[in-house]
Amino acid sequence: MSEASLTTVTDATFAELVLAETRPVVVDFWATWCPPCRPMARTLAELATEFGDRIVIATIDADASPEAVRTYRVLSMPTLLFFRHGVVTGSIVGARPKSYLRNALQDRTAPYANR
């Protein structure tokens, strides 16, 4: 497994870093005023290391990137959107335990496990 970290995206980099990515991508929409967003970010950082290069785990500050929030109709924080080839394939709204998130990521990276 390779070392990985969270990828920070903005409205300006969303198309390049999320929509054009060939690997599965999960985007964490968060805000500084959102108390459950902090532990979710820590958990996602741990999972980014665990999953390595099989998936891109990205974060986007919802307040600083209102275009993405509008485009994907994000109404609650935190919200995770799962992308594959630029298309939303699923979502998780609200904070979840690490085991739940790990299972969600495993389901989306299974075809990439042997690469």
Is residue 114 domain-resident? no
**pLDDT of the residue at 101:** 97
Instruction: Give me the number of domains the chain comprises.
Output: 1
The catalytically annotated residue of 34, 45, 92, 93 is 34
Is residue 102 domain-resident? yes
Matching residue, tokens 């935190």? 78
Q: How far apart are CA 78 and CA 28, in angstroms?
A: 7
Is residue 1 domain-resident? no
pTM for this predicted structure: 0.91
The catalytically annotated residue of 17, 18, 37, 40 is 37
pLDDT by position in tens, the chain (length 115)? 344 689 999 999 999 999 999 999 999 999 999 999 999 999 999 999 999 999 999 999 999 999 999 999 999 999 999 999 999 999 999 999 999 999 999 988 876 544 4
Q: How far apart are CA 101 and CA 66, in angstroms?
A: 25
Domain span at residue 97 reads 7-109
Residue 37 catalytic? yes
Query: Which one-letter DSSP state was computed for residue 19?
Result: I
Q: Residue 41 is which amino acid? A: A
Is residue 115 domain-resident? no
Q: What is the CATH number of the domain that holds 91?
A: 3.40.30.10
**pLDDT of the residue at 114:** 44
Contact in structure between 31 and 66 (CB atoms under 8 Å): no
